[in-house]
Structure 1
């Protein structure tokens, strides 16, 4: 690949490899990597450096669940209810607290706490009462498969990378969803994101091309056809990234009444259902971002630089090899 921009070339003069889920991505060394929500199969959150706070965090949550006993309903009010209780998990040091889910007092909120290395991992399940035992099995299995990982470590065994941790291969990883954001110190208005989701079935609404056509129709019917016609499209069509066959749209959007100009690049590959090594892959790049609002700042990249940056980042995405 030929780099035409001196600024992009300088940006990639030093790179580092990031592990997210079962994938790898090469990013500029100076960039900040932000891990988003993880599901394995239940939501999993990492609290970097908070391992020593595990007992106090568990105690606080347990106190909350004691109050929740008073508003529990259905099977969660019966003699067999576990709401307001603390149990040892199936993994040494793992704690499990039982409460109720916000918005539905008849559904459990089961929190699993594991300290690994310097990090605290909290996984939350929200099963109905009849499926709580299955959810507990999930939480115990992931807790036993989870270990600490330095952010620079690229594991060599099968499994999935999460923020500050690694989940070794287990049958309980039947659903996976991992998210990652990249922020550039040199170009703070540029936001790149990656989402990888292993689904059981092909969901037609995930496809990008039909969504683009629908957006055009909505714009024309809502009186925004003039603005939409001024969008500058750099590329629109099918593209293969590694093993993924998908569709991409690279465009510059002109300013609107409440939003400044910006670049919006999107790629979607539906992957292969039930294949964790070929997940649904969704990639996005936006410029002009300030305070998490697109069009809130003037884009710091030219059109050519934005395309080059996109190509460098996306072309590096690959499945992490393992023994």
Structure 2
């Protein structure tokens, strides 16, 4: 009997071992930070038979032909809004902004409300209240009309800057802006925004962009990318480096949450978790499956503030079982574990810079030769200030 009991235990352990070996071939790493490839299923192979490149911010991504880009916010360096309508709508919007400022603060001061830096543009400059004026917090909004759309560029004086500094910067931004077709991918240096493109080869500004991907064949799957070039820029370099090692990395944040929540930490099946390189970005990933069948995948990279090639906060996420913008709301995931991991790897591998930026190694961008053109379209002339 003891022999039979030991034999049963051995058999059970063997089953577990075989299971673990199978998982390691599929969902672990063939070497540090390099995932073991997962074969695309027939329907995923069909999905990626024809691909295209779409751009957002300084990035571009190779996607299936059916994919649609869903825009989030973009800042370059301040938030860029888009409204429908031409220059007359822009003027009315500016007046509404002024009325709102005055209704909220009776000490709001509007110092300029008139033609913007180029044709078909309008600009307002203002202090939100007397405190803002005391501390020289001087704000700008420039409305640039391009056909049936108006781009709204925010700005403000920073420490040591004057009004003329921001006027010049807004002029440069306005002259660099042009319309862009939804799937046009420029090959010159600059920044892709929704419906537009801002050409330029200056990289000192803080940049943020958020975008998502929608796949009609898999409507419950969402994939998104978020980048903030200058996150944590207010921290001392030594303090940031310490935070980077101890607190900011994805795996450190997960471990911190587990330590804090203990037995209350949500149950999950870990499909793959560890260091993960995407191009030259040496990040980390966590691929889990929630008890309800939702796939919850995340990749994160912590770079260096003010380094355009290595943004200080950069990441991607993918969820399944999404319905009505709610994760887990769909009845079931449209992909299996194998398909979810394979799709994740395929999408991440297609994420690169659109064109080369300072410090970006070969292979990390789609277009190696840039031809900076159209900085100042010939039909737009600067206005005197």
**Alignment TM class, shorter chain as reference:** 0.7 to 0.9
Which residue of the other structure, out of 33, 37, 57, is the alignment partner of 2:69? 33
Which residue of structure 2 aligns with residue 197 of structure 1?
228
Give how far 1:108 is off.
Answer: 5.7
User: How is 1:81-230 mapped onto 2 (pairs within 5 angstroms)?
Assistant: 81-82=110-111, 85-98=112-125, 110-116=140-146, 118-125=148-155, 133=163, 134-171=165-202, 174-199=205-230, 200=233, 202=240, 204=244, 205-220=247-262, 223-225=263-265, 227-228=266-267
Aligned partners of 1:12 and 1:249: how far apart in 2?
24
Q: Does 1:291 align with 2:333?
A: no
The verdict on how the C-alpha distance between 1:60 and 1:174 changes in structure 2, with shifts beyond 3 A counting, is: closer
Q: Which runs of 5+ in 2 are unaligned?
A: 1-36, 355-366, 371-385
Which residue of structure 2 aligns with residue 252 of structure 1?
289
Q: Secondary structure at the match of 1:139?
A: helix
Which residue of structure 2 aligns with residue 60 of structure 1?
93
Q: Secondary structure at the match of 1:25?
A: strand
Give how far 1:19 is off.
Answer: 1.0
Give how far 1:173 is off.
Answer: 5.4
Check whether the contact 2:86–2:146 (CA below 8 A) recurs between aligned residues. no
Which range moves more in the overlay, 5-14 or 202-211? 202-211
Cα RMSD for the two superposed structures = 2.8
Give how far 1:100 is off.
Answer: 6.5
Larger strand fraction of residues = 1
Aligned partners of 2:352 and 2:281: how far apart in 1?
9
Which residue of structure 1 aligns with residue 25 of structure 2?
none
Which residue of structure 2 aligns with residue 236 of structure 1?
273
Check whether the contact 2:54–2:61 (CA below 8 A) recurs between aligned residues. yes
The verdict on how the C-alpha distance between 1:54 and 1:130 changes in structure 2, with shifts beyond 3 A counting, is: farther
The verdict on how the C-alpha distance between 1:129 and 1:216 changes in structure 2, with shifts beyond 3 A counting, is: closer
Give how far 1:194 is off.
Answer: 0.5
Aligned partners of 1:219 and 1:2: how far apart in 2?
33
Aligned partners of 1:4 and 1:172: how far apart in 2?
38
Q: Larger radius of gyration, structure 1 or 2? A: 2
Check whether the contact 1:41–1:172 (CA below 8 A) recurs between aligned residues. no
Which range moves more in the overlay, 57-66 or 13-22? 57-66
Aligned partners of 1:173 and 1:87: how far apart in 2?
29
Give how far 1:290 is off.
Answer: 1.3
Give how far 1:315 is off.
Answer: 0.3
- Give the TM-score of the pair, scaled to structure 1: 0.83
Q: Secondary structure at the match of 2:86?
A: helix
Aligned partners of 1:2 and 1:67: how far apart in 2?
55
- Give the TM-score of the pair, scaled to structure 2: 0.70
Check whether the contact 1:193–1:284 (CA below 8 A) recurs between aligned residues. yes
The verdict on how the C-alpha distance between 1:94 and 1:132 changes in structure 2, with shifts beyond 3 A counting, is: farther
